[in-house]
Chains A and B, each alone.
Chain A
Amino acid sequence: MQAVLKEFRAAWAFVERNFNLVKRYWKWEVVFFAYTVANSVTMGFIGKGVENFSGTKVDVNFLILYMLIGSILWGYLSILFEIVAETVAWERWEETIEYTFMAPVSRATHLLSVCLFSIFYGLVRSGLILLVVSWFFKLDLSGANFAGAAAILGVGSFSFIGLGMIAAILPLISPEKGVQVVHIFQALLLMFSGVYYEVEVLPAWMQTVAKLSPATYALQGMRASILDGQPFSALWSFTYPLLFMGAVMLPLGIFTFSKMERYAKKKGLLKRNG
């Protein structure tokens, strides 16, 4: 019981520390929020402009929302991956990494609590972006199933976290370029998953890869719940692959990170500044 309480205290310490950091860097948070809103608005305008350059009548509201969902998921994944990857990168920059890694906390508790914070933070941020952007384009969201979309995003987060943990290895083994590679990893993931298009437009081999990506199901599920307003019962076909992938990727992420932590400790990579 004492051991469980200890792990809970440690988990809360990570969540609270990240919250304190967001609070102290609030001006930068506003800047990055504005940047993500600008990106999403751009995507919205691409949707709006299709009718003009194609010359055919399209459902503009549908198209804008279609693009926005891709953009919001991109923003959500960026936050998730950034926070998880920065578990290593930020701590190395502040030189606190050795103190955190020598504390008597299991790596699973450490990583999962950071991820818990990133999910909460990512969901709040994505919700706010959707709110701002929908106001900007006067979107009709009356038929959207937001609870369903949030549930899809929540369920999908388990596998995203697993992938995030694997991505967090990169700054662990490459202090200089690891974080940048995480961005490449994220971009590839979304490219295969149909971020601004249906996966059916991809070449056959890319469609095969898309089936293995949790982002594919998260995007399809979110579009089904927001664009088509489908109820929870109809979202199962997207939920179960996400649950399955989460069950595989989450433990795989923790396992891989632990293995690479051992490698970093053998090679003396924890301390270097990048």
Chain B
Amino acid sequence: MLFKDEKIALSVKGISKTFQKHKNKTIKAVDNVSFEIFRGEVFGVLGPNGSGKSTLIRMISTLLIPDTGNILVFGFDAEKEANSVRNLVNRVSVEASFFKKLSAMENLLFTAGLYGISKAKAREELLRIFDRIGLSRKRIHDPLEDFSRGMQQKVAIARAFLTSPNLLLLDEPTTGLDPRAKKEVQALIQEVCKEHDTSILLTTHDMFEAEELCGRVAIFHEGKVQKMGEVMKLKAAIPGGPLVSLEDVFMHYTGTTLKEADSGFEEAETLQEVS
């Protein structure tokens, strides 16, 4: 049985996560969040830095255990059936995390092994993916430390695609990429979703990217879902709509611009470091 639930790729119900920062200080990173992603859908989670997006992704990836609520991936419980969930999920995060001294091929074959993919199949598949995402085959045996940030991110995307995930978690995958690489990655996301029956959860603070890729979005702020729905409907529902931008929608529901929210988070981080 591949899936327990054929229609809902991801069901998040009432999840919360609080971290103990110092002796008497706690931070509620995710606060009673619920939403569903349908099979084949690209769902966006929009929010500034520190809004809890990455914590949410980590809980879905089985890397964090929520304090309350539950997460189902195609019907499998992320806490009780973690291994079944891991077989269905992969993730691309903002940092392209690799063994930097090892080559792209060595890193990717390691991933293939972890997911039980034979070397022969992985090699064949990797060459195809490399061609598709515009990575030169000549570089495949070079150490990752010799790659640019954009190229490392492409290898990270290749790593996720290699395992053919049914649910792909993209945590700000285009942050730090040049405009051309960004466009290529976005095109790839659209292709994967259409051709490979992959459902995608995309977290981003790039409103244009969200508008381009996502059917539905959730506006995330201070660990909570402030508003959720189809992009066009969200835009139409606020004063001036539907010709407003997603940034306007964000401001309408959170009372702040994304930039202000970002700088507020950075300021809080700096103060924390100083204290």
The answer to the question of B28 belonging to the interface, with a C-beta cut-off of 8 Å to chain A, is no
Query: Closest CB of chain A to B229's CB: distance in Å?
Result: 30
* Contact assessment for A17 and B106 in the assembled complex, using a CB-CB cutoff below 8 Å: yes
* Contact assessment for A98 and B58 in the assembled complex, using a CB-CB cutoff below 8 Å: yes
- Residues of A near B95 (CB, < 8 A) are 95
Main secondary structure of the interface of B (DSSP, over half): mixed
- Residues of B near A6 (CB, < 8 A) are 116
Residues facing B in A231-271 (CB within 8 A) are: 262, 265-268, 270-271
Query: Closest CB of chain B to A151's CB: distance in Å?
Result: 30
* Contact assessment for A10 and B63 in the assembled complex, using a CB-CB cutoff below 8 Å: no
Total interface residues on A, CB under 8 Å, equals 33
A-B contact count (CB 8 A): 93
In the complex, which of the residues B86, B89, B99, B159 has the most CB atoms of chain A within 10 Å of its own CB atom?
A: B99
Residues facing B in A1-42 (CB within 8 A) are: 5-7, 9-10, 12-14, 16-17, 20-21, 24-25
* Contact assessment for A13 and B64 in the assembled complex, using a CB-CB cutoff below 8 Å: no
The docked-state distance in angstroms from the alpha carbon of A274 to that of B117 is 32
The docked-state distance in angstroms from the alpha carbon of A105 to that of B114 is 6
Given contacts A20-B102, A265-B65, is CB(A94)–CB(B97) below 8 Å?
yes
Query: Closest CB of chain B to A10's CB: distance in Å?
Result: 5
What are 15 A-B residue pairs whose CB atoms fall within 8 Å in the complex? A5-B116, A9-B116, A12-B113, A13-B112, A16-B110, A20-B106, A21-B99, A24-B101, A24-B102, A102-B61, A102-B91, A103-B114, A104-B87, A266-B64, A267-B19
**B contacts, CB < 8 Å to A:** 17, 19-20, 55, 58, 61-65, 83, 86-87, 89-91, 93, 95, 97-102, 106, 109-118, 143, 159
Q: A102-B90, A103-B115 are in contact. List 11 more A-B contacts (CB 8 A).
A: A10-B115, A17-B99, A21-B102, A96-B98, A98-B63, A99-B111, A102-B86, A106-B83, A262-B65, A267-B20, A271-B63
**A contacts, CB < 8 Å to B:** 5-7, 9-10, 12-14, 16-17, 20-21, 24-25, 94-96, 98-106, 262, 265-268, 270-271
